[in-house]
Chain A
Amino acid sequence: MSTVTASSPGPAAGGGRGAGGAIERVDRTGKLIYGFLRRIPTWVLWLMVIVWSIPASSLFLNSFRTRDAQRNSGWWESFNEGGWTLANYSEVLGTEQTGGLARALVNSFAIAIPATVIPVAIAAMAAYAFAWIKFRGREWLFIVFVSLLALPNQVALLPLLQLYAGGAHWTIPGTEFTLTLFPDFDLAGSATAVWLTHTAFALPFAVFLLHNYISSLPGELFEAARIDGADHVTIFWRLVVPLSVPALAAFTIFQFLWTWNDYLVAITMIGSNGEAWPATIRIASLAGEFGLREHVLSAGAFVQAGVPLIVFFALQRFFVRGLLAGSVKS
């Protein structure tokens, strides 16, 4: 416990004690001022909270206002003027012609679910191998693997898109013969390309985070199991997975929010194929036609943010734990 009051003058404010009513009165005034000063940090905090809440709450209020109300006055006027409506939300949940997001939300799920489940599964296995299976070059391989965290996604986007769009081929030098190294699955423009990419991009962080946790599990437990004849598969499935639920949950939430909110990978891999657009691209394109559909844009942004906000409020502790594990060893 450390209550820090950075700008309070310290207990010295009540100093100068002596006998007599006058001094007592001065003392009381001093205490009053001191109490006032003491509360300044708290006021600053709540002021900060208010400032931080204004942007999102103003959009939230606007999303319930009619097109005319939004265009002609600020949200703060709505308390006098009225002009409330739910029409924006019904438009936004409708079809694309009215700026609807229904299909885009489905696409977002279609990307975020596989892009979360698959990395968690394979990263957990790799993390277990790095932590508890002894092999030559383990440290070295782990460091290389985790170093991939440094790669910005941008570095891999263009080559990956080329891979998805045409496969990889190699003409053997000196011959006419072309070997297909990676077949052309015609993935560009599909949700599959997006979640495959997310899976690859997520792995270094996932392995890093889960390794931190799994390597701290008690080794004697695994030794005992091995003596009882359990192999790595049994140990992994029966012991490691159940014991790592907190870390797995933390990463799952983190990765789900990350892929749900992603824009860069999706716009690169899907491009102009509007049918496969997730909600982020959809609302960004609504923003591009600013003025035309600005009245549904606020509702759209809120519908897109709804899922992460629900996750955030319901599972905040895991989410925070995921973040903590990502930056500092807890």
Chain B
Amino acid sequence: MGALGGALIGVVIAIGASTALFFGANWLFDLAVDRWRTFLATSGALVGALIGAVIAGNDVAGGPLWLWAAVCAVVGAAAGIAASLLGTPSKSSRTRLSERGRLVTFLGPSLLFAALGLVIPLIRSIYLSLLDSRAAEWVGLANYGEILTNPNSLDLSGWTEIFTSRLFYAALVLIAVGLGIGMAVGRRRGRTMEALPGSIGPIAIGLFVLSFAVFTTLRGTVINNLWWVVVVTGLSTALGLAAAVLADGVRGESVAKSLIFLPMAISFVGAGIIWRFMYIARPPQKPQTGFLNAIWVWLGSLRPRTGGAWVAVLILALATVLLAGLCAFGVRRRQTAFAIGAAVTAIPVLWLIYRFLGPGLGGSVPGPTGEPIAGTILFLQEAPFNNVWLMVVLIWIQTGFAMVILSAAIKAVPSELIEAARVDGATERQTFWNVIIPTIIPTITVVATTLIVLVMKVYDIVKVMTAGNFGTQVIANEMWQKAFTELNFGLGSALAVVLFLAVVPAMAFNIRRTQRADA
């Protein structure tokens, strides 16, 4: 327990010393008003002792530190008394001096820490990023050029493959559907486009899928970071909003919210380990111990065109009929969003039917004898989608954050506003989309920008789960490896500065927004 004891003693000493310093300074500046000569003598002695310590510490001259400090303190005190003989300033200027001094005692420690720990290191990082790997030669912007030209950090060579990927066409279809619905409803209401869940939803999902098409074909560290930002920010915010809305006013609300929020308390390292256990893949002959592969292999063992599969197909077909009915119901009642919801739900159901009838569900591959055996997913090794499985970990953590903030915002929507909407005959759904959502848009923006900043700096999860291998490298991990493993100070600093520049816009936006809210 030595370390803890040492730390506690350190804390007690630090607090004691700071308190002594704080009240000492306070006493000193009290003297400035009432007893000018004592004040000058004391401060002269303190300044002298400090100068003496610097002289001794730098070996300007020989002699022990305490001697130099003591001698200089006496000299300083004498100088102070001598200065006081020249006359005493007016009471008002002495009071001003004492106020100034108090200000320094309040602000000084924070400013000192911030300057030494943040401002000066930032300047030095920028300087180091312009030097070579040993911090010896001036290389200008070469390190930044290296980041942009190295195919490991930015590889755009495969961009033509975007147009051959299935994701791309799925995205186009979704966007077209969204635009079509928006325009159809718009025409009915005399506008070109109508923004409503049924049109915005497919367009948003389409853009999301499109980003997958782009990010899976363009590769590299920088692209990975952008992918992280899009996916984690988008899904955490959306799922957090969904959880906040679904839980609002439900029985057991606090239990549900606690459980979704709980991962926030776990470290990124711990979360990485938790999910490594989820993602374990074992050789196909052995039973799977990872939860996700166990499900996948179990689904794979449900062979198509057997008795069980027919039953499943029958149930799914019934579900399709039900969904079709709901869709028709929605169309008849002009509940567009409802109809779309039913139609969208039908897509995975139809897909399941297809898998049951055709290629089979889940993981199974032909074995050596042609008999199907279990096929596992190597969640952490199979590029480029292993990136997504890493993102899942951060989504798991951050959804709770988004939920808590958005839930507070929803509860803070003035009840008069909701009442007014009700009186005007708005349905619950109309109240939600036209009153609650517009009111909490600022909060959604804050959540999203906060997440962008956080995700941009993602490090621990990648480090613990893949160490940046298998095409999962991100800027923060690359920076750490360059600076502290390869000791390439120039490139490491340049990567850190890139990270800084990437974060600044979102952070500036966030701070300015909060400042405006303050005013």
Chain A positions within 8 Å of B, measured between CB atoms, are: 1-12, 41-42, 44-46, 48-49, 52-56, 58-59, 62, 70-77, 103, 106-107, 109-111, 113-114, 117-118, 121-123, 125-126, 128-130, 133, 135, 143, 145-161, 163, 178-180, 182-183, 191-192, 195-197, 199-201, 203-204, 207, 212, 231-233, 236, 257, 260-264, 268, 271, 276, 280, 283-284, 287, 290, 297-298, 301, 304-305, 308-309, 311-313, 316, 319-320, 323-324, 326-330
**CA separation between A73 and B288, bound complex, in Å?**
7
Our pick among B267, B496, B508 for the contact of A155 (Cβ within 8 Å) is B496
Nearest-CB distance from B65 to chain A (Å)?
A: 11
- Chain B residues with CB under 8 A of A290: 276
Which residue from chain A places its CB closest to the CB of B250 in the assembled complex? A42
Assess whether A129 is in contact with B262, with CB atoms less than 8 Å apart: no
* Dominant secondary structure of chain B at its interface with chain A: helix
Assess whether A301 is in contact with B118, with CB atoms less than 8 Å apart: no
Assess whether A107 is in contact with B436, with CB atoms less than 8 Å apart: no
Assess whether B291 is in contact with A74, with CB atoms less than 8 Å apart: yes
- Chain B residues with CB under 8 A of A261: 266-270
4 further A-B contacts with Cβ under 8 Å, apart from A75-B291, A158-B483, are A59-B274, A122-B18, A287-B272, A298-B273
**CA separation between A133 and B107, bound complex, in Å?**
10
B75 interface contact, C-beta 8 A = no
B168 interface contact, C-beta 8 A = no
Assess whether B405 is in contact with A324, with CB atoms less than 8 Å apart: yes
Assess whether B276 is in contact with A287, with CB atoms less than 8 Å apart: yes
Our pick among B128, B262, B456, B483 for the contact of A312 (Cβ within 8 Å) is B262
Assess whether B276 is in contact with A154, with CB atoms less than 8 Å apart: no
Nearest-CB distance from B75 to chain A (Å)?
A: 21
Decide yes or no: A233 and B102 within 8 Å by CB, A152-B500, A200-B113, A308-B266 being known contacts: yes
Which residue from chain B places its CB closest to the CB of A329 in the assembled complex? B517
Nearest-CB distance from A78 to chain B (Å)?
A: 11
Our pick among A49, A54, A236 for the contact of B291 (Cβ within 8 Å) is A54
Assess whether B117 is in contact with A156, with CB atoms less than 8 Å apart: yes
Chain B positions within 8 Å of A, measured between CB atoms, are: 1, 3-4, 6-8, 10-11, 14-15, 18, 22-23, 26, 57-58, 99-100, 102-103, 105-107, 109-111, 113-114, 116-122, 124-125, 128, 239, 242-243, 245-250, 256, 258-270, 272-278, 286-291, 294, 329-330, 333, 335, 338, 341, 396, 399-401, 404-405, 408-410, 413, 415, 418, 427-429, 431-432, 436, 443, 446-447, 450, 453, 456-457, 459-460, 463-464, 476, 479-480, 483-484, 489, 492-493, 495-497, 499-500, 503-504, 507-508, 511, 514-515, 517-518
Assess whether A49 is in contact with B260, with CB atoms less than 8 Å apart: yes
Our pick among B57, B242, B511, B517 for the contact of A147 (Cβ within 8 Å) is B511
Of B103, B117, B289, B405, chain A has the most CB atoms within 10 Å of the CB of B117
**CA separation between A54 and B392, bound complex, in Å?**
13
Decide yes or no: A55 and B275 within 8 Å by CB, A74-B288, A109-B7, A154-B480 being known contacts: yes
- Chain A residues with CB under 8 A of B511: 146-147, 149-150
Assess whether B3 is in contact with A305, with CB atoms less than 8 Å apart: no
Nearest-CB distance from B511 to chain A (Å)?
A: 6
- Chain A residues with CB under 8 A of B261: 320
Assess whether A2 is in contact with B10, with CB atoms less than 8 Å apart: no
- Chain B residues with CB under 8 A of A145: 110-111, 114
Assess whether A149 is in contact with B507, with CB atoms less than 8 Å apart: yes
Across the A-B interface, give the 10 residue pairs with the lowest CB-CB distance, nearest first: A200-B117, A261-B267, A110-B7, A150-B507, A126-B110, A156-B121, A159-B121, A129-B106, A312-B265, A45-B246
Which residue from chain A places its CB closest to the CB of B123 in the assembled complex? A159
**CA separation between A145 and B333, bound complex, in Å?**
56
- Chain A residues with CB under 8 A of B492: 158
Decide yes or no: A203 and B396 within 8 Å by CB, A42-B246, A308-B266 being known contacts: no
Assess whether B330 is in contact with A9, with CB atoms less than 8 Å apart: yes
- Chain B residues with CB under 8 A of A203: 110, 113-114, 117-118
**CA separation between A8 and B329, bound complex, in Å?**
12
* Dominant secondary structure of chain A at its interface with chain B: helix
5 contacts between A and B (CB under 8 A): A8-B429, A45-B250, A125-B22, A148-B118, A305-B266
**CA separation between A196 and B117, bound complex, in Å?**
8
Assess whether A118 is in contact with B14, with CB atoms less than 8 Å apart: yes
- Chain A residues with CB under 8 A of B418: 2
- Chain A residues with CB under 8 A of B248: 2-4
- Chain A residues with CB under 8 A of B507: 147, 149-150
Nearest-CB distance from B322 to chain A (Å)?
A: 10
- Chain A residues with CB under 8 A of B483: 157-158
- Chain A residues with CB under 8 A of B103: 129, 133, 135
**CA separation between A178 and B272, bound complex, in Å?**
47
- Chain A residues with CB under 8 A of B503: 150, 152
Assess whether B335 is in contact with A6, with CB atoms less than 8 Å apart: no
- Chain B residues with CB under 8 A of A2: 248-249, 410, 413, 418, 431-432, 436
Which residue from chain B places its CB closest to the CB of A77 in the assembled complex? B287
- Chain A residues with CB under 8 A of B277: 55, 58-59, 62, 298
- Chain A residues with CB under 8 A of B415: 1
Assess whether B289 is in contact with A263, with CB atoms less than 8 Å apart: no
Our pick among B22, B100, B408, B480 for the contact of A328 (Cβ within 8 Å) is B408
Our pick among B427, B464, B508 for the contact of A10 (Cβ within 8 Å) is B427
Assess whether B110 is in contact with A207, with CB atoms less than 8 Å apart: yes
Nearest-CB distance from A326 to chain B (Å)?
A: 8
- Chain B residues with CB under 8 A of A204: 114, 118
- Chain B residues with CB under 8 A of A5: 428-429
Decide yes or no: A283 and B289 within 8 Å by CB, A151-B122, A183-B57, A196-B117 being known contacts: no
Of A158, A182, A313, chain B has the most CB atoms within 10 Å of the CB of A158
Which residue from chain A places its CB closest to the CB of B115 in the assembled complex? A200
Which residue from chain A places its CB closest to the CB of B245 in the assembled complex? A4
Our pick among B10, B122, B267 for the contact of A304 (Cβ within 8 Å) is B267
Which residue from chain B places its CB closest to the CB of A37 in the assembled complex? B326
- Chain A residues with CB under 8 A of B270: 261, 280, 283, 301, 304-305
**CA separation between A153 and B276, bound complex, in Å?**
26
Which residue from chain A places its CB closest to the CB of B11 in the assembled complex? A114
**CA separation between A151 and B479, bound complex, in Å?**
15
Nearest-CB distance from B222 to chain A (Å)?
A: 15
Assess whether A56 is in contact with B262, with CB atoms less than 8 Å apart: yes
Which residue from chain A places its CB closest to the CB of B277 in the assembled complex? A59
**CA separation between A1 and B419, bound complex, in Å?**
10
Nearest-CB distance from B204 to chain A (Å)?
A: 15
Decide yes or no: A8 and B428 within 8 Å by CB, A41-B246, A52-B399 being known contacts: yes
Nearest-CB distance from B371 to chain A (Å)?
A: 23
Our pick among B106, B294, B456, B479 for the contact of A126 (Cβ within 8 Å) is B106
Nearest-CB distance from A110 to chain B (Å)?
A: 3
Our pick among A56, A154, A233 for the contact of B26 (Cβ within 8 Å) is A233
**CA separation between A315 and B291, bound complex, in Å?**
32
Assess whether A328 is in contact with B405, with CB atoms less than 8 Å apart: yes
- Chain B residues with CB under 8 A of A10: 335, 427-429
**CA separation between A154 and B120, bound complex, in Å?**
14
- Chain A residues with CB under 8 A of B427: 10-11
Assess whether B446 is in contact with A316, with CB atoms less than 8 Å apart: no
- Chain A residues with CB under 8 A of B405: 323-324, 327-328
Assess whether A52 is in contact with B107, with CB atoms less than 8 Å apart: no
- Chain B residues with CB under 8 A of A12: 333, 335
